[in-house]
Amino acid sequence: MPDTAHDFIGFTRLIIQRGIIAGIVMFSVACATVDNPDPFEGMNRKVMAFNDEADRLILKPLAKGYINITSEPVRRSVSNFYDNFAYPITILNQFLQGKVRLGFRDLGRFVVNTTLGLLGFFDVATKFGLEQHDEDFGQTLGVWGVNSGAYFVIPLWGPVTTRSGIGDIASFYTHPVQFVEDEYVRYGLFIVWAIQTRASLLEAEELITGDRYLFIRDAFLQRREFLVNDGVIEEDPFLDDME
Protein backbone atom coordinates (compact mmCIF):
# COMPACT_ATOMS: atom_id res chain seq x y z
CA MET A 1 0.00 0.00 0.00
CA PRO A 2 1.24 3.54 -0.70
CA ASP A 3 2.66 5.20 2.36
CA THR A 4 3.43 8.75 1.28
CA ALA A 5 1.37 11.54 -0.22
CA HIS A 6 3.44 11.31 -3.37
CA ASP A 7 2.72 7.62 -3.75
CA PHE A 8 -0.92 8.28 -3.13
CA ILE A 9 -1.11 10.80 -5.98
CA GLY A 10 0.68 8.38 -8.27
CA PHE A 11 -1.67 5.63 -7.16
CA THR A 12 -4.74 7.75 -7.81
CA ARG A 13 -3.41 8.84 -11.20
CA LEU A 14 -2.71 5.25 -12.17
CA ILE A 15 -6.20 4.17 -11.14
CA ILE A 16 -7.75 6.97 -13.17
CA GLN A 17 -5.50 6.29 -16.18
CA ARG A 18 -6.17 2.61 -16.15
CA GLY A 19 -9.85 3.26 -15.57
CA ILE A 20 -10.05 5.48 -18.64
CA ILE A 21 -8.16 2.97 -20.78
CA ALA A 22 -10.40 0.18 -19.53
CA GLY A 23 -13.44 2.32 -20.28
CA ILE A 24 -12.38 2.99 -23.87
CA VAL A 25 -11.48 -0.64 -24.52
CA MET A 26 -14.78 -1.84 -23.13
CA PHE A 27 -16.77 0.66 -25.11
CA SER A 28 -15.18 -0.37 -28.39
CA VAL A 29 -15.13 -4.11 -27.89
CA ALA A 30 -18.57 -4.86 -26.55
CA CYS A 31 -20.98 -4.89 -29.44
CA ALA A 32 -21.95 -8.55 -29.70
CA THR A 33 -25.63 -9.40 -29.49
CA VAL A 34 -26.90 -12.94 -29.22
CA ASP A 35 -30.53 -14.11 -29.16
CA ASN A 36 -29.84 -17.25 -27.20
CA PRO A 37 -27.91 -16.28 -24.07
CA ASP A 38 -26.15 -19.66 -23.93
CA PRO A 39 -25.07 -20.75 -27.43
CA PHE A 40 -22.07 -22.68 -26.06
CA GLU A 41 -24.00 -24.77 -23.53
CA GLY A 42 -22.25 -28.04 -24.44
CA MET A 43 -18.80 -26.60 -23.92
CA ASN A 44 -19.88 -24.67 -20.86
CA ARG A 45 -21.24 -27.80 -19.21
CA LYS A 46 -17.88 -29.51 -19.72
CA VAL A 47 -15.99 -26.58 -18.25
CA MET A 48 -18.35 -26.51 -15.28
CA ALA A 49 -17.79 -30.22 -14.68
CA PHE A 50 -14.06 -29.52 -14.65
CA ASN A 51 -14.49 -26.54 -12.33
CA ASP A 52 -16.68 -28.56 -9.98
CA GLU A 53 -14.06 -31.27 -9.80
CA ALA A 54 -11.29 -28.77 -9.06
CA ASP A 55 -13.56 -27.21 -6.48
CA ARG A 56 -14.32 -30.53 -4.87
CA LEU A 57 -10.65 -31.44 -4.62
CA ILE A 58 -9.11 -28.11 -3.66
CA LEU A 59 -11.20 -25.04 -3.00
CA LYS A 60 -14.15 -26.51 -1.13
CA PRO A 61 -12.01 -28.40 1.42
CA LEU A 62 -10.00 -25.21 1.99
CA ALA A 63 -13.21 -23.21 2.45
CA LYS A 64 -14.53 -25.76 4.94
CA GLY A 65 -11.24 -25.72 6.82
CA TYR A 66 -11.37 -21.94 6.90
CA ILE A 67 -14.84 -22.07 8.45
CA ASN A 68 -13.62 -24.56 11.04
CA ILE A 69 -10.73 -22.41 12.22
CA THR A 70 -12.47 -19.02 12.15
CA SER A 71 -15.41 -17.56 14.00
CA GLU A 72 -18.29 -15.71 12.36
CA PRO A 73 -17.07 -12.22 13.40
CA VAL A 74 -13.59 -12.98 12.03
CA ARG A 75 -15.03 -14.07 8.69
CA ARG A 76 -17.20 -10.99 8.56
CA SER A 77 -14.17 -8.77 9.17
CA VAL A 78 -12.18 -10.53 6.45
CA SER A 79 -15.09 -10.14 4.06
CA ASN A 80 -15.41 -6.45 5.03
CA PHE A 81 -11.70 -5.96 4.37
CA TYR A 82 -11.91 -7.35 0.85
CA ASP A 83 -15.09 -5.42 0.04
CA ASN A 84 -13.42 -2.22 1.14
CA PHE A 85 -10.14 -3.03 -0.59
CA ALA A 86 -11.93 -3.39 -3.94
CA TYR A 87 -14.24 -0.45 -3.28
CA PRO A 88 -12.37 2.03 -5.55
CA ILE A 89 -13.77 -0.06 -8.43
CA THR A 90 -17.30 0.66 -7.24
CA ILE A 91 -16.50 4.35 -6.81
CA LEU A 92 -14.94 4.62 -10.27
CA ASN A 93 -17.94 2.89 -11.85
CA GLN A 94 -20.45 5.11 -10.05
CA PHE A 95 -18.77 8.03 -11.80
CA LEU A 96 -18.57 6.18 -15.12
CA GLN A 97 -22.31 5.59 -14.85
CA GLY A 98 -22.86 9.29 -14.21
CA LYS A 99 -23.96 8.79 -10.62
CA VAL A 100 -21.84 11.60 -9.24
CA ARG A 101 -23.59 11.96 -5.90
CA LEU A 102 -23.38 8.23 -5.19
CA GLY A 103 -19.76 8.30 -6.33
CA PHE A 104 -18.89 10.88 -3.69
CA ARG A 105 -20.91 9.05 -1.05
CA ASP A 106 -19.04 5.85 -1.86
CA LEU A 107 -15.76 7.74 -1.75
CA GLY A 108 -16.79 8.90 1.72
CA ARG A 109 -17.61 5.33 2.65
CA PHE A 110 -14.19 4.16 1.48
CA VAL A 111 -12.37 6.88 3.42
CA VAL A 112 -14.36 6.23 6.60
CA ASN A 113 -13.89 2.47 6.50
CA THR A 114 -10.22 2.66 5.55
CA THR A 115 -9.44 5.01 8.46
CA LEU A 116 -11.98 4.59 11.27
CA GLY A 117 -12.75 1.05 10.13
CA LEU A 118 -9.06 0.10 10.42
CA LEU A 119 -8.25 -0.71 6.77
CA GLY A 120 -11.81 -1.83 6.20
CA PHE A 121 -11.94 -4.69 8.69
CA PHE A 122 -14.83 -2.92 10.37
CA ASP A 123 -17.74 -1.50 8.45
CA VAL A 124 -18.40 1.67 10.41
CA ALA A 125 -19.64 3.60 7.37
CA THR A 126 -22.90 1.65 7.20
CA LYS A 127 -23.66 2.77 10.75
CA PHE A 128 -23.17 6.36 9.57
CA GLY A 129 -25.73 5.78 6.85
CA LEU A 130 -23.20 5.30 4.03
CA GLU A 131 -24.48 1.98 2.82
CA GLN A 132 -22.55 -0.37 0.58
CA HIS A 133 -23.04 -0.47 -3.18
CA ASP A 134 -21.91 -2.96 -5.73
CA GLU A 135 -20.81 -1.56 -9.08
CA ASP A 136 -18.35 -2.95 -11.58
CA PHE A 137 -17.27 -2.41 -15.20
CA GLY A 138 -19.68 -5.03 -16.50
CA GLN A 139 -22.60 -3.15 -14.95
CA THR A 140 -21.29 0.12 -16.37
CA LEU A 141 -21.35 -1.40 -19.85
CA GLY A 142 -24.92 -2.48 -19.19
CA VAL A 143 -25.88 1.04 -18.13
CA TRP A 144 -24.26 2.31 -21.32
CA GLY A 145 -26.63 0.07 -23.25
CA VAL A 146 -24.28 -2.74 -24.21
CA ASN A 147 -25.97 -6.14 -24.44
CA SER A 148 -24.85 -8.83 -22.05
CA GLY A 149 -23.71 -11.09 -24.89
CA ALA A 150 -23.20 -14.81 -24.49
CA TYR A 151 -22.89 -16.86 -21.33
CA PHE A 152 -19.55 -18.58 -20.72
CA VAL A 153 -18.15 -20.72 -17.96
CA ILE A 154 -14.46 -19.87 -17.64
CA PRO A 155 -12.06 -22.56 -16.33
CA LEU A 156 -11.16 -21.98 -12.68
CA TRP A 157 -13.13 -18.73 -12.65
CA GLY A 158 -16.79 -19.51 -13.21
CA PRO A 159 -19.74 -17.88 -14.98
CA VAL A 160 -19.40 -14.70 -17.02
CA THR A 161 -21.21 -13.06 -19.86
CA THR A 162 -19.27 -11.41 -22.66
CA ARG A 163 -20.08 -8.13 -20.98
CA SER A 164 -19.33 -9.10 -17.39
CA GLY A 165 -16.19 -10.96 -18.51
CA ILE A 166 -14.78 -7.86 -20.19
CA GLY A 167 -15.71 -6.05 -17.00
CA ASP A 168 -13.83 -8.66 -14.95
CA ILE A 169 -10.72 -8.08 -17.04
CA ALA A 170 -11.03 -4.34 -16.54
CA SER A 171 -11.49 -4.94 -12.80
CA PHE A 172 -8.39 -7.11 -12.76
CA TYR A 173 -6.26 -4.29 -14.16
CA THR A 174 -7.75 -1.59 -11.96
CA HIS A 175 -7.99 -3.61 -8.73
CA PRO A 176 -6.01 -1.93 -5.94
CA VAL A 177 -4.22 -5.24 -5.28
CA GLN A 178 -2.20 -4.48 -8.43
CA PHE A 179 -0.48 -1.74 -6.50
CA VAL A 180 0.75 -4.07 -3.78
CA GLU A 181 4.49 -4.24 -4.48
CA ASP A 182 5.35 -7.52 -2.80
CA GLU A 183 4.18 -10.31 -5.04
CA TYR A 184 3.90 -12.83 -2.21
CA VAL A 185 1.55 -10.50 -0.38
CA ARG A 186 -0.39 -10.07 -3.60
CA TYR A 187 -0.78 -13.80 -4.15
CA GLY A 188 -1.57 -14.31 -0.48
CA LEU A 189 -4.32 -11.72 -0.65
CA PHE A 190 -5.74 -13.42 -3.74
CA ILE A 191 -5.69 -16.90 -2.19
CA VAL A 192 -7.38 -15.81 1.02
CA TRP A 193 -9.95 -13.91 -1.04
CA ALA A 194 -10.74 -17.02 -3.08
CA ILE A 195 -11.13 -19.13 0.05
CA GLN A 196 -13.32 -16.65 1.88
CA THR A 197 -15.50 -16.07 -1.18
CA ARG A 198 -15.97 -19.82 -1.57
CA ALA A 199 -16.73 -20.18 2.13
CA SER A 200 -19.42 -17.52 1.90
CA LEU A 201 -21.18 -19.55 -0.81
CA LEU A 202 -21.28 -22.86 1.06
CA GLU A 203 -24.65 -22.23 2.65
CA ALA A 204 -26.39 -20.76 -0.36
CA GLU A 205 -25.14 -23.65 -2.46
CA GLU A 206 -27.27 -26.09 -0.51
CA LEU A 207 -30.36 -24.41 -1.89
CA ILE A 208 -29.49 -25.27 -5.49
CA THR A 209 -31.98 -27.77 -6.81
CA GLY A 210 -32.61 -29.64 -10.04
CA ASP A 211 -30.18 -29.21 -12.91
CA ARG A 212 -27.25 -27.52 -11.23
CA TYR A 213 -25.87 -26.07 -14.46
CA LEU A 214 -29.19 -24.45 -15.41
CA PHE A 215 -29.84 -23.20 -11.91
CA ILE A 216 -26.47 -21.47 -11.68
CA ARG A 217 -26.74 -20.07 -15.21
CA ASP A 218 -30.22 -18.63 -14.73
CA ALA A 219 -29.42 -17.29 -11.30
CA PHE A 220 -26.20 -15.69 -12.58
CA LEU A 221 -27.82 -14.06 -15.62
CA GLN A 222 -30.77 -12.74 -13.62
CA ARG A 223 -28.57 -11.45 -10.86
CA ARG A 224 -26.37 -9.55 -13.32
CA GLU A 225 -29.40 -7.82 -14.82
CA PHE A 226 -30.62 -7.02 -11.33
CA LEU A 227 -27.27 -5.42 -10.49
CA VAL A 228 -27.29 -3.35 -13.70
CA ASN A 229 -30.71 -2.01 -12.64
CA ASP A 230 -29.33 -1.28 -9.16
CA GLY A 231 -31.73 -3.69 -7.53
CA VAL A 232 -34.89 -2.00 -8.72
CA ILE A 233 -37.52 -4.53 -9.71
CA GLU A 234 -40.33 -2.81 -11.57
CA GLU A 235 -42.06 -5.67 -13.24
CA ASP A 236 -41.91 -9.39 -12.95
CA PRO A 237 -41.88 -11.03 -16.39
CA PHE A 238 -42.74 -14.44 -14.93
CA LEU A 239 -46.52 -14.36 -15.38
CA ASP A 240 -46.87 -11.61 -17.96
CA ASP A 241 -47.52 -13.99 -20.81
CA MET A 242 -50.08 -15.97 -18.81
CA GLU A 243 -52.93 -13.52 -18.97
Partner 1 sequence: MFRLVSVFLFFLIVAANSKAAEQSLEAFVQIKSDEILTLVNEGRAEFESDPSVLYGQMGAVLDELVDFAILTRGIMGKHFKVAIDDQRLAFQQTLRNYLVEVYTKALVKFKSKSIEIIPLKKPPTNKATISMEVTTQDDATFLLAYSMAKKESAWLVRNIIVDGINMGLTYRSQFDSMMISNNNDVDTVIENWATAADEEEFSK
Segment holding 153, helix H or strand E: strand 151-154
Secondary structure (3-state) at 33: coil
- For the segment 49-108, give every residue that binds partner 1 (CB under 8 A): 72, 76
**Nearest-10 crossing angle of helices 212-228, 41-54:** 100
Beta bridge partners of 96: none
Interaction of residue 238 with partner 1, rule CB under 8 A: yes
Measure the CA–CA gap between 56 and 51, rounded to whole angstroms: 8
Interaction of residue 237 with partner 1, rule CB under 8 A: yes
Secondary structure (3-state) at 134: coil
Considering only 100-108, 171-179, 184-192, 208-216, which stretch makes contact with partner 1 by CB under 8 A?
A: 208-216
Candidate list 52, 53, 205, 225; residue touching partner 1; CB under 8 A: 225
Interaction of residue 226 with partner 1, rule CB under 8 A: yes
When the beta carbons of 59 and 124 are compared against partner 1, the nearer one is: 124
Q: What is the DSSP letter of 193?
A: H
Interaction of residue 231 with partner 1, rule CB under 8 A: yes
Contact indicator for 153, 159 with CB cutoff of 8 Å: yes
Candidate list 50, 128, 172, 187; residue touching partner 1; CB under 8 A: 128
When the beta carbons of 192 and 227 are compared against partner 1, the nearer one is: 227
Interaction of residue 215 with partner 1, rule CB under 8 A: yes
Q: Longest Cα pair distance anywhere in the chain, in angstroms?
A: 64
Q: Please, what is the minimum distance in Å from the beta carbon of residue 170 to partner 1?
A: 22
Query: CA nearest 78: which of 63, 91, 92?
Result: 63
Dihedrals φ, ψ of 151, to 5°?
-90, 135
When the beta carbons of 13 and 223 are compared against partner 1, the nearer one is: 223
Q: Please, what is the minimum distance in Å from the beta carbon of residue 36 to partner 1?
A: 13
What's the chain's length in residues? 243
Interaction of residue 35 with partner 1, rule CB under 8 A: no
18-22 contacts at long range (C-beta below 8 A, 24 or more positions apart)? 18/173, 18/174, 19/92, 19/96, 19/174, 22/137, 22/170, 22/173, 22/174
Interaction of residue 242 with partner 1, rule CB under 8 A: yes
Considering only 58-66, 107-115, 149-157, 233-241, which stretch makes contact with partner 1 by CB under 8 A?
A: 233-241
Instruction: Name the residues that contact partner 1, by CB under 8 A.
Output: 72, 76, 128-129, 203, 206-207, 209-211, 214-215, 218-219, 222-223, 225-227, 231, 233-239, 242
